[in-house]
């Protein structure tokens, strides 16, 4: 790819320029859509800041207590930026400051937020010389550091916003889906489930009858979203392949799912690889009621947890304070 900018120019390499972003949490899989469906939410989100630095390469500054690696090759945001920099002049350098508000290992796209936020912010510094699909391609390298796999079901909604379908990884083919208003309740029990561990326990072969049922649910869920058919969405939020295996890693999962639906939720399941659990509701009142159910169950289990009642984030990574005199849209 030929770079569109002359980054040797003083204008292009503006060392006073600073870009600050909020990179949203995401819910991957959407129950039946393993590795192909995901959506962004308005809360929680990571806060990130990037600027050019005088020396080539990447400097990472952690503004939180997670003690994540600052070696760019071992840091998900750094790996994403390194992939971007392969298509930029060799003299460029970035200083990236990360304040993680999405706990690593929480199952709501912590690694994707850092990866996507870094490349989206850098692209803003570069006056948007890369497309959204390019940014997904770069950010997937961060997911490979986190899980060993270049999956995009968290990355794509983080960059595109809303609900996204990953039709293909190689070649990359991302479809943005419309969706009716939905309220999202998320509970994060304070345990960690590593994505790599959650992937390692999955079956590599499935029965044809189970695959057919799963395909029907995926098609039904996509159709329900496009047609704003809440009942169809609810009927389609069923996973016969992944959830039965992964749910054993999450205390109280079956109870939360059953009682949330009794409280009026359309349905839901494991967020990404867990341990977070999400439920979709048609109204905020129902979503709040579901949050109360989740809270009560984990109180009874004496397990610390955080709950969020939020909505779908339709913009993806948000620019909150960019000291550059241009429009800040991706």
Active site residues: 143, 195
**Beta-bridge partner residues of 21:** 48, 319
DSSP-derived letter for residue 1 is -
Rounded Cα distance, 164 and 179, in Å: 10
Task: Give the Cα separation of 62 and 64 in Å (integer).
Answer: 6
d(CA 296, CA 178): 33
The span from the CA of 254 to the CA of 259, in Å, is 9
Angle at 170 between CA 114 and CA 69, to 5 degrees: 25
End-to-end CA distance of the chain: 19
Contact 170, 269 (CB under 8 A): no
Distance CA 60, CA 58 (A): 6
Cα–Cα nearest to 278, from 250, 257, 299: 257
């Amino acid at each position: 790819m030929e770079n569109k900018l002359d980054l040797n120019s003083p204008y292009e390499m503006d060392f006073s320029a600073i870009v600050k972003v909020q990179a949203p949490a995401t819910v991957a899989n959407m129950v039946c859509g393993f590795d192909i469906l995901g959506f962004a939410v308005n809360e929680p989100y990571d806060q990130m800041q990037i600027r050019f630095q005088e020396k080539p390469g990447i400097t990472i500054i952690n503004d939180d207590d997670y003690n994540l690696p600052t070696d760019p090759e071992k840091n998900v945001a750094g790996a994403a930026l390194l992939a971007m920099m392969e298509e930029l002049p060799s003299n460029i350098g970035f200083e990236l400051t990360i304040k993680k508000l999405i706990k690593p290992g929480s199952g709501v796209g912590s690694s994707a937020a850092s990866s996507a936020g870094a490349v989206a912010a850098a692209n803003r510094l570069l006056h948007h010389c890369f497309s959204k699909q390019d940014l997904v391609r770069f950010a997937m390298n961060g997911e490979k550091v986190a899980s060993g796999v270049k999956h995009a079901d968290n990355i794509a909604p983080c960059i595109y916003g809303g609900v996204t379908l990953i039709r293909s990884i190689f070649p990359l083919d991302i479809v943005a889906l419309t969706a009716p208003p939905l309220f999202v309740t998320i509970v994060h029990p304070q345990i960690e489930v590593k994505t790599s561990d959650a992937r390692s326990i999955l079956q590599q072969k499935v029965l044809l009858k189970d695959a057919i049922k799963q395909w029907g649910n995926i098609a039904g869920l996509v159709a329900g979203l496009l047609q704003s058919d809440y009942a169809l969405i609810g009927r389609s939020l069923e996973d016969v392949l992944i959830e039965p295996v992964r749910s054993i890693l999450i205390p109280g999962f079956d109870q939360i799912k059953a009682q949330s639906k009794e409280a009026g939720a359309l349905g839901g399941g494991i967020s990404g690889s867990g341990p977070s659990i999400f439920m979709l509701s048609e109204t905020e009142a129902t979503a709040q009621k579901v949050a109360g159910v989740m809270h009560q169950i984990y109180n009874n289990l004496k397990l610390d947890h955080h709950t969020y009642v939020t909505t779908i984030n339709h913009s993806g990574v948000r620019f909150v304070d960019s000291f550059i005199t241009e429009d800040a849209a991706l």
